[in-house]
Chain A
Amino acid sequence: MKLVIAIIRETQLDEVREALIEAEIRRITVMRVSGHGKAEDAEIYRGKKVVPGLIPRVRLEIAVNDEFVDITVDTIIKTVKSRYKDKQPGKTTGDGKIFITPLEECIRISTGERGSEAI
Chain B
Amino acid sequence: MLKKYLGKFPLLLLLFLSISTPSFAQDGAAIDTGTTAWMLVSTALVLLMVPGLAMFYGGLVRTKNVLGTMMHSFAAMGIMTVLWVAVGYAMAFGPNVLGGWFGWNPGYIFLAGIDETIMDAGVPEYVFSMFQGKFAIITPALIAGAFAERVKFKSYCLFIALWGLLVYNPLCHWVWAEDGFLFNLGANGAIDFAGGTVVHISAGVSGLVAAIYLGARRGFPVTNMPPSNLVMTMIGGGLLWVGWFGFNAGSSVASGLSTAQALTATQVAAASGAITWMIIEAWHQGKATALGIMSGILAGLVAVTPAAGVVQPFGAFMLGIFASVFCYMAIIAKNKLGYDDSLDAFGIHGVGGIVGAILLTFFIRDAWMADAAAAAGGSWTAWQQLGVQVVAVLIAVVYAAVLTLILLFVINKLIGFRSDPKEEMSGLDSAYHSEHGYGMLNPN
Contact = CB atoms under 8 A, between A and B. Distances in A.
B208 to A, nearest CB: 26
A34 B425 contact: no
A82 to B, nearest CB: 11
Interface centre among A10, A11, A18, by most chain B C-beta atoms within 10 angstroms, is A11
A56 B422 contact: no
Given A43-B434, A44-B434, A56 B439 contact: yes
Given A54-B443, A56-B441, A18 B436 contact: no
Contacts of B431: 11
B425 A15 contact: yes
A52 B430 contact: no
Interface string B421-444: 010011100110011100101111
A18 B424 CA distance: 13
B441 A32 contact: yes
A35 to B, nearest CB: 10
Contacts of B425: 11-12, 14-15, 18
A103 B435 CA distance: 37
Contacts of B443: 34, 54
A54 B444 contact: yes
B442 A54 contact: yes
A8 B443 CA distance: 18
A12 B435 contact: no
B444 A11 contact: no
Counting contact residues on chain A (CB < 8 A from B), the size range is 10 to 19
A68 B427 CA distance: 30
Contacts of B422: 15
Given A43-B435, A44-B435, A45-B435, A11 B426 contact: yes
Interface in B391-444: 422, 425-427, 430-431, 434-436, 439, 441-444
Interface in A4-22: 10-12, 14-15, 18
A53 interface: yes
A84 to B, nearest CB: 14
B442 A10 contact: no
A34 B64 contact: no
Contacts of B219: 18
Nearest to A11: B426
A56 B436 CA distance: 10
Given A43-B434, A43-B435, A11 B442 contact: no
Interface in B274-301: none
15 contacts: A10-B64, A11-B427, A11-B431, A14-B426, A15-B426, A33-B441, A34-B441, A34-B442, A34-B443, A34-B444, A43-B435, A44-B435, A54-B442, A54-B444, A56-B436
Interface of B: 64, 218-219, 422, 425-427, 430-431, 434-436, 439, 441-444
Given A15-B426, A43-B434, 9 more contacts: A11-B425, A14-B425, A14-B426, A18-B425, A33-B441, A34-B442, A34-B444, A44-B435, A56-B442
